[in-house]
Amino acid sequence: MKSTSARIPDVSRRFDSVGFSEIVQVRNRVMGLLAAGHEVHRFEGGEPYMTTPETIKRAMESALARNQTRYAPSSGIPELRSAILAKVRTKNRIPADEESPIVVNGGMQGLFAAFSTLLDPGDEVLMFSPYWTPVTDLITWSGAVPVLVPTERARERGISATLARSVTPRTKVLYWNSPNNPTGDVFSRREIEEVCAFVAGSGLAIISDEAYEDLIYEGEPHVSPASLPGMPERTISVFTLSKSYSMTGWRAGYVIAPERYQSPIRTAVLYSTNGVSTPTQWAAVEALSMRPEFLEEWKAGYRRRRDQLADGLRAAGFEVETPRAALYLFPKIPASLGTDSRAAAAMLLDTARVATVPGLVFGPEGEGHLRFSFSVPEETIAAGVASLKRVRSPLATSGVRSPLAT
């Protein structure tokens, strides 16, 4: 036999421009500190603070006992798809057709399938910034280009006018995330109507990421873009059970898409995971049948934590706007710490053992901020805030300029 070439093939060029979440890198540093025996006050995560409801766990046990362990249709079991259909028609007011629900492995796979369905190399995607970090990578995975639209500037100068300045002949999609990670901001109905009118008038599609639809604590309720006139045929709505039901590790979500996009989304799911695990789907049926009242208790817990952390951070020198949704505070870094969010996050981890995510990770508009999750035990909030104040006060009283003194 002839000797084989020593050449080893390169990794696909697709990965050249696709990053790996910096939030994971923060988590790895925290793990290192914990392994070395340090106490760390952890605010870097993004998970509900409570455990999955018992009835959901029991539904999975029952599915296992009934041997519901075989392949399911890759777009979802009929029982789950009809529960999803009823939910989106009544709660989200989306006029979804019978075939539209597609079950996916969490919001991440839903977004992956949606971007894969719509994007060709060179296409451009408008997205407000700050944004949830993986989205730009999901877009570049398809060879497309994220075009950032600063949310604050758009509000100051007019949303449609600002979007119009970013549109080119290659623009195809607008990615939409309200309530927003990382800011906890919710766009008003008037703003959503303006964005949808712009999208429709420009011949674009919208990918609507509604991961935090249930976690709004005050003010106007959630509005799904696909519920507005003329929008269902150009909207792919992505939902997840992760945040609403404390099911982050189960990997369950669903996509609602108009007819022309259903087949490619199903194909993307088929050839990536061939569906969601069958027992998990039975647990999801139970989740969707839960009475909405259970969420009110959880939301009271979130509100309490949000306010406790916001007050504590203010007392420690941060400028905090209290958000009305999601799981995060996104305060400005105190002036004495500078505006480099990576340096500030590293400094807080080293000195106060407080873990946060640098705002820059959420786009250039996030620079100068840190993301703190308030979905943590109340003791963590108390201990973390005390640690931030401790870092501040000994230095302040010794006449040395404290890193946190403003």
- The footprint of ligand PLP (CB under 6 A) covers 46, 106-108, 132, 177, 181, 209, 211, 240, 242, 248, 253
Judged by beta carbon, residue 20 or residue 203, the one nearer ligand PLP is 20
Q: Which two tokens stand for residue 361?
A: 């990770």
Report how far apart, in Å, the C-alpha atoms of 370 and of each of 17, 250, 302, 366 are: 25, 28, 19, 8
Judged by beta carbon, residue 112 or residue 198, the one nearer ligand PLP is 112
The Cα–Cα gap between 152 and 43 comes to 25
Taking the C-alpha atoms of 254, 51, 217 and 370 in order, what is their torsion angle to the nearest 10 degrees? -90
Judged by beta carbon, residue 253 or residue 334, the one nearer ligand PLP is 253
Minimum CB separation of residue 363 from ligand PLP in Å reads 13
Judged by beta carbon, residue 19 or residue 230, the one nearer ligand PLP is 19
22 burial (CB, 10 Å; 0-12 / 13-18 / 19+) is middle
Minimum CB separation of residue 104 from ligand PLP in Å reads 8
Minimum CB separation of residue 214 from ligand PLP in Å reads 13
Q: Which two tokens stand for residue 315?
A: 């007392």
Judged by beta carbon, residue 74 or residue 248, the one nearer ligand PLP is 248
Minimum CB separation of residue 253 from ligand PLP in Å reads 5
Minimum CB separation of residue 327 from ligand PLP in Å reads 8
Judged by beta carbon, residue 256 or residue 385, the one nearer ligand PLP is 256
Contact 332, 366 (CB under 8 A): no
> Which residues sit opposite 332 in a β-bridge?
319, 369
Judged by beta carbon, residue 76 or residue 317, the one nearer ligand PLP is 76
How many other β-carbons are positioned within 10 Å of the β-carbon of residue 100? 26
Minimum CB separation of residue 20 from ligand PLP in Å reads 15
Half-sphere exposure of 170 (CA within 13 A, CB side): 12
Minimum CB separation of residue 186 from ligand PLP in Å reads 13
H or E element that contains 283: helix 278-289
Contact 387, 74 (CB under 8 A): no
> Which residues sit opposite 256 in a β-bridge?
101, 237
Judged by beta carbon, residue 162 or residue 181, the one nearer ligand PLP is 181
Minimum CB separation of residue 324 from ligand PLP in Å reads 16
Per residue in 169-195, is it b (16+ CB within 10 Å) or e — as a string? eebbbbbbbbbbbbbbbbbeeebbbbb
Pairing of strands 101-104, 253-256: antiparallel
Judged by beta carbon, residue 129 or residue 242, the one nearer ligand PLP is 242
Minimum CB separation of residue 29 from ligand PLP in Å reads 19
The Cα–Cα gap between 45 and 23 comes to 8
Span between the terminal Cα atoms of the chain, in Å: 74
